[in-house]
Structure 1
């Protein structure tokens, strides 16, 4: 059966063209680091992550050689989590930072590459680091925070023997339909006329010719933190989000 192709949103199209013009640039990689302190059930965490990713349609999107996207008919989420044991390293924290930095610096092809990745780095028996990286064509920083919160909620429910509630994620189809309707509306025509007038006399837009060096990577992680009630099913969690 042929995959049903969908157009890109305006934001996605800009990233698609930019990455295709400069495929060796990792600047569109976005990542979060989540420090989990306490007794973590790794198998339960992996189940929670798989369920969350199954709900989050944007993270399952694939892209083609033309500016288009589609949802695979079958996309197994089993094995989506890489577990890395760093307890034997002389300095597990430094080893974790180097591992994450190397992954974040790796360019990702938007057509053939691995657009998202999840790893659980084990520093001690009760200190794990959840590293999640996604290409900006899939998701932004706010959506990454939603992914973290949803996975934590599913984990808590599963660990307590409960059924997780409904997730917050929607489908791409309504988003694309809303953008298409806007572009066909009188409001879009008025907005376009306004900005053409407002920017009259501005320098000519830059062309697509590649020039200069690749953009630099995002800055160092920006610390954020939250604590969950300390119990076997709810280990305290602190986060450090990369400022992308």
Structure 2
């Protein structure tokens, strides 16, 4: 949509430009929707609640912004003078109480509402609804495009709405029924997002910008992000999995001297590092980017994604890794103003993925809460779909009046499918959280992420009955391998001696056993791909691993199978079926 010549238009902030560019690559997508869902259980005056919502919406100019391109193709933003019909409420009433299962109907409606795109070119970029589940259950649902509000701003809008509702219910400035709509249209003075957009370049000066660029050039040096393999689908589906982190576990994390979010982020990093077989995991973490009280009071978009690097090959406990992550987050906060698009330009190019830094985002949302409404119980849920280019979005939510944490995983179903489900890493992360506190001195490499029952299933029950091992077959094969490659260890770390007292089997020479091969073969075959593609002018040769047969000790075999199961993407042992060897 073009902007008329007589309309006053501004350039976008750096954070808005990043969203505009990503939206242009996948137009008509719901990837930048942000939804806040307030469930109110109790006696609620729906008309009064709607009047308070209308009042709060009309106080903020972020919901009157419209975006488009000028004649030269440059994105611009303008603010319309007033809503086309100022008398109409800026929300809709929806009654789902007549169905056989109203609670389920509300959940389905919220999921569908999150998946409905907002028109970035034409607007409006905000929707609101008061949904009736029954006489004692009402839902306030707000949906906004990320280019005008972040999650903090949308929660601030519900805070304003419910605080206004509580004051009126308690007898302070309660209008008559006929005056509710008129009262709600009266706006009070609020901080202007439009003014903040105008001041963006002056607040963030050239000297500060260049200092931040130099910081990120140094910070991103040597980064080799581990990314999930994607199916190539233009618009993969999405799914959602949630799990709690209980109040007792949060208390134990604090007693250990760690902060909950860095500790949780470190556990996710360890889990993803084992899936990718990577020494480092990079998350995209949205920073609040509101440094002053004035900025915190503005309903608008300030959040900025920053890359957080987490080394998972270090020989240190999980609590210490969490402390290192916390210090790194504090260091990044000093440079949070530079928009992510500018940060990306400072990153080194990484092959076919260009300057891609991460495909997993993790956000921590801790919001202030209004005083409780008498006779009404509240449950708040904040939802945001995974971005089109990402595989997983981790949203950690904390509220002042709720114990513990809620973790929501929004994932792309072309990555987290039947072989690798979102529930699997969620379970592993939960186990890492507990084990890291139970064994605070245990290094990351030795920290198990399988429960005792999972270990029993993976290592013992799925391996079949024990069978005698023909030792005489392994020695000739090992000697042939040693003759072919005399300088490469065939078997590492196996403290196994032969029956007749000869030297240990780990002195044999040959190609080393690499756990990544099993993962690579299994992962590729489940997707119909060739795990070891060969150039067209050369015949394919499957890898020969003589050391695979050099594990006569049952104990060592069990340990190796457990390690192999951790290396696989889906957390289960899958035996690779190689083609039969051809006669030469």
Look up the match of 2:76.
68
Matches within 5 A, 1:47-126: 47-65=51-69, 66-75=74-83, 76=86, 78-126=88-136
Aligned residues: 233
- TM-score between both structures, scaled by the size of structure 1: 0.81
Residue ranges of structure 1 left out of the alignment (5+ in a row): 204-210
Whole-Å Cα distance in 1 between the matches of residues 242 and 63 of structure 2?
22
Whole-Å Cα distance in 2 between the matches of residues 28 and 149 of structure 1?
22
Structure 1 residue matching 2:8: 3-state secondary structure? coil
Whole-Å Cα distance in 1 between the matches of residues 11 and 92 of structure 2?
32
Residues 193-237 of structure 1, C-alpha deviations (whole Å, 9 max, x = no match): 34345546778xxxxxxx753366574578899872425xxx332
Whole-Å Cα distance in 1 between the matches of residues 31 and 150 of structure 2?
13
Partners of 1:221 and 1:240 within 8 A in 2: no
- Deviation for aligned residue 1:180: 0.4
Structure 1 residue matching 2:121: 3-state secondary structure? coil
2:145 pairs with one of 129, 135, 154: 135
Partners of 1:227 and 1:237 within 8 A in 2: no
Partners of 2:66 and 2:124 within 8 A in 1: no
Matches within 5 A, 1:1-244: 2-65=6-69, 66-75=74-83, 76=86, 78-159=88-169, 160-162=171-173, 169-196=190-217, 198-199=219-220, 213-214=234-235, 217=238, 219=240, 228-231=372-375, 235-242=376-383
Partners of 2:166 and 2:373 within 8 A in 1: no
Residue ranges of structure 2 left out of the alignment (5+ in a row): 175-183, 225-231, 245-366, 386-584
Question: Which shifted more, 54-63 or 177-186?
Answer: 177-186
- TM-score between both structures, scaled by the size of structure 2: 0.36
Kindly tell me: are residues 193 and 44 of structure 1, through their superposed partners in 2, closer, same or farther at Cα, counting changes over 3 Å?
Answer: same
- Deviation for aligned residue 1:108: 2.2
Whole-Å Cα distance in 1 between the matches of residues 372 and 48 of structure 2?
17
Kindly tell me: are residues 226 and 127 of structure 1, through their superposed partners in 2, closer, same or farther at Cα, counting changes over 3 Å?
Answer: farther
Q: How large is the Cα RMSD of the aligned pairs?
A: 3.1
- Deviation for aligned residue 1:171: 1.2
Partners of 1:226 and 1:239 within 8 A in 2: no
Structure 2 residue matching 1:111: 3-state secondary structure? coil
Please list every run of at least 4 consecutive aligned residues from structure 1 whose deviation after the TM superposition is greater than 6 angstroms: 221-227
Structure 1 residue matching 2:144: 3-state secondary structure? strand
Partners of 1:26 and 1:108 within 8 A in 2: yes
Partners of 2:79 and 2:194 within 8 A in 1: no
Kindly tell me: are residues 141 and 177 of structure 1, through their superposed partners in 2, closer, same or farther at Cα, counting changes over 3 Å?
Answer: same
- Deviation for aligned residue 1:111: 1.2
Q: Which has the larger radius of gyration?
A: 2
Structure 2 residue matching 1:32: 3-state secondary structure? strand
Kindly tell me: are residues 82 and 51 of structure 1, through their superposed partners in 2, closer, same or farther at Cα, counting changes over 3 Å?
Answer: same
Whole-Å Cα distance in 2 between the matches of residues 10 and 222 of structure 1?
34
Kindly tell me: are residues 190 and 93 of structure 1, through their superposed partners in 2, closer, same or farther at Cα, counting changes over 3 Å?
Answer: same
Structure 2 residue matching 1:130: 3-state secondary structure? strand
- Deviation for aligned residue 1:122: 0.7
- Deviation for aligned residue 1:26: 1.0
Q: Which structure ranks higher in relative contact order (CA pairs < 8 Å, sequence separation ≥ 6)?
A: 1
